[in-house]
Amino acid sequence: MSRRLPIGIQDFRTIREQDFYYVDKTPLVRKLVDEGRFYFLSRPRRFGKSLLLDTIRSLFEGHEELFRGLNIHGHWDWSAAHPVVRLSFDGKYNDPKDLERSILTQLEVIERNAGLPAAACGSGPERLLDLLDRLHRRTGRQVAVLVDEYDKPILDVLHDPELATANRDYLRGFYGIIKGSAEHVRFVFVTGVSMFSKAGLFSGLNNLDDISLDPRHATICGYTENDLDRVFGPELDGLDREEIRSWYNGYHWRGGERVYNPWDVLLLLDSREFRPYWFETGSPTLLFRMLKEKSISPMELENRMADMSLVSKFDLNDIGIEALLFQTGYLTIAEEWEEDHRTSFRLDYPNLEVQLSLNDELLKHLGKGRLPLDEGREFRELLEANDFEGFGDRLRSYLSGIPYQWHATGDLARYEAWYASLLHMCFRAVGVDVRAEDASSHGRADIVVLTGGQVFVLEFKMADGEDGADAALNEAITQMRERGYAEKYLDRREPVHLIGVSCGRKARNLLEIRAEPA
């Protein structure tokens, strides 16, 4: 039976009472409540964290009628309602007083809704301490504390280190009140995007059980394949399931299943068009700034190796690029293995939406006048037509338009990787099968492009000037042949081309290009 799509609705009661589709996460919620008390969960934006918290709020408040037909209904004591303190930091925090003001306002609303007299004026932590005590004493039941977007007051002002530090220190004391009030607290669930270290933010609440990478709770947010079939089956007619999977599935927080971004799925089912819905809701400005500051080639974003400490390392004074990419949803766990008594990961794009959109946005961030899609399509068409001279002219024109500031920030401008990464992003932005640092038995090719029933192996070399361009091209072609970069593709029975690309250190542009059959 077809129902309404809950696009943008984070209120559990509205969804249940007004006949919206709902994916039942209560089996996982039940497991959490049965097995522990203090939890933390990190997930990217638009992944259903707010709805999850509102479901838990309704559960503890004892709204039995909303849970009929759901897994948890027959496993909960509906006669034992608990008071709930739910806080959400979804506002703006650009002024030093914004955080305290937000907390005091939210606590005042909770007091009023609970029928409690307003507390005497005090700081946010003092007001929370008082509220937990009064709610427990008045009802005789411990309080459930739910915090949504716990990290937003810090993430909003990362551009202002002084204010970010002040907000972090304030929140450290505020969250510490929860641990200090353990006698009044039945259950705690804190959610956000980033995984700030306990030493940096949760030193006062260091008993939180971080389930962000716990395989048992990997699907607590997001839609599984089974969810799509079981819940949204009536909406799937006329849509290619493989295309849905390619565009929006792939997020992986360990465990056996990969999940879909709920925001993407709901908007796809509504519009019936494949678009980067999730990506359009936010701009990765911080990521672009870090790539420039750390001189990281965009080509290095793919197949990035990390361990547990790297993907969870997020602090004001040391924001790891792996942690930022993973926690914000631009990369996900593609592969996991045990080595030397530690867990290691290979990170990669979760799906086509992120691959296309992130590379497209990176190119726009470079300040190019033309649309990245136009660049990528033209490069692809020239290669497929074997117009290597035209390809070289187009690449030379493209590189000449890169702003000087980008070349001047860091060492990448002096190395092949920088030029290879710019071309790589163009191909990625139009969905071309392009492989960076493609490994052979004797080395790695800079880029391999598979398009139009042909294979193009590209090797970039730097030259000091025009006089050295020919020698650089000879070196590139010789290296590709001697190290067998093309051998793995010969059994495809498709034309394979070796393309040497010579770039000038001083000219900061393409000098010459040469193509030969493999």
Q: The whole model's pTM is what?
A: 0.84
Q: Percentage of the chain surpassing pLDDT 90? A: 64
Phi-psi region of 329 (alpha: psi -120 to 50; beta: other; left: phi over 0): left
pLDDT in tens, 269-318: 999 999 999 999 988 888 888 877 777 777 778 788 898 888 887 888 77
Q: Where are the domains of the chain?
A: 24-217, 283-348, 368-517
Q: Would the pLDDT of 406 be above 50?
A: no
- N-to-C CA span, the chain: 57
Q: What is the mean pLDDT of the chain?
A: 89
> What mean pLDDT is predicted for residues 208-212?
92
Helix 352-365 and helix 416-429: axis angle, to 10°?
A: 120
What's the CA gap between 168 and 364, in Å, rounded? Answer: 33
Q: Would the pLDDT of 408 be above 70?
A: no
Amino acid identity of 133?
Answer: D
pLDDT in tens, 61-93: 999 999 999 999 999 999 999 999 999 998 889
Cα separation values, 22 from 16, 66, 227, Å: 8, 11, 10
Contact 380, 427 (CB under 8 A): yes
Helix (H) or strand (E) holding 153: helix 152-155
Q: Percentage of the chain surpassing pLDDT 70? A: 94
24-217 CATH, one of 3.40.50, 1.10.1660, 3.40.30, 3.30.160: 3.40.50
Helix (H) or strand (E) holding 451: strand 444-451
What's the CA gap between 425 and 422, in Å, rounded? Answer: 5
Of the pLDDT bands very low, low, confident and very high (cuts 50, 70, 90), residue 353 is very high
Sheet holding 332-339, edge to edge: 304-307, 342-348, 332-339
Q: Is CATH 3.40.1350 correct for 368-517?
A: yes
Of the pLDDT bands very low, low, confident and very high (cuts 50, 70, 90), residue 149 is very high
* Phi, psi angles (nearest 5°) of residue 190: -115, 130
Cα separation values, 273 from 244, 261, 265, Å: 10, 15, 11
Q: For residue 400, what pLDDT is reported?
A: 77
pLDDT in tens, 429-482: 888 899 888 877 778 899 999 999 999 999 999 887 777 889 999 999 999 999
Q: Would the pLDDT of 199 be above 80?
A: no
